A and B are shown apart, each in its own frame.
Chain A
């Protein structure tokens, strides 16, 4: 069964450092997403990406965040200068069609900012 894969599974970084979280969406999917989940809280939408550009972003997704599809398979989330409150699980998701269809989630990357 096709799946979304994320690396690394756990990332520890010092405050102020840049991190890049990586995702390989399902191969025939065209829409890509990043969500985050702070420990014990609900999953929050960050950004959606289609046709090599951001199609929607939440207010969480400020100038410290960026996304990129550097090649035909990877989808990355970069946080330029991490803050303690960026510590969370970050989930990548992809879907075959646009909004209103099933999005498949990866296992997540646990980001710990110290």
Chain B
């Protein structure tokens, strides 16, 4: 079935290094993608989004890349900080009037001191 999923359940990086979190999606009708960060005991927090007519979008220390050819989405976090430790979810929304986001399973990013 169609799904949004993440390749790695856990990613550990050294503080100050860059991290890349990957996501694969299978719904070719998806036209909007979001990365959420979820800290323990909290709700998902919006990080950055991208529409299907774009390949790249940058925010503060974060970059999202979209490769529609292979249905791949990535989140790059530059100069990671301890506060970046969290579970990161990609979510997609497909066109055609759908309202709900389909979330992936999440990648737990651990920042090592």
A residues near B, CB below 8 A? 4, 31, 33, 35, 41-48, 50, 55-56, 58, 91, 93, 98-100, 102-108
A48-B100, A99-B98, A99-B99 are known contacts; what are 7 more A-B pairs with Cβ within 8 Å?
Answer: A42-B103, A43-B101, A45-B101, A47-B100, A100-B93, A105-B46, A107-B43
Bound Cα distance A56, B101 (Å): 11
Interface of A is mostly: strand
Across the interface, A56 reaches (CB within 8 A) one of B31, B41, B100, B104, namely B100
Contacts of A45 in B (CB 8 A): 100-103
Q: When A and B form their complex, which 4 residue pairs have the shortest distance between CB atoms, in order from nearest?
A: A45-B100, A48-B99, A105-B43, A43-B103
In this complex, how many residues of chain B approach chain A with their Cβ under 8 Å: the count is: 25
B105 within 8 A of A: yes
B46 x A56 contact (CB < 8 A) = no
B46 x A104 contact (CB < 8 A) = yes
Across the interface, A55 reaches (CB within 8 A) one of B42, B43, B99, namely B99
Minimum CB–CB distance for A77 against chain B, Å: 14
A33 x B32 contact (CB < 8 A) = no
Which residues of chain B in 68-97 are interfacial with respect to chain A, using CB atoms and an 8 Å cutoff? 89, 91, 93, 97
B46 x A43 contact (CB < 8 A) = no
Contacts of A42 in B (CB 8 A): 89, 103-106
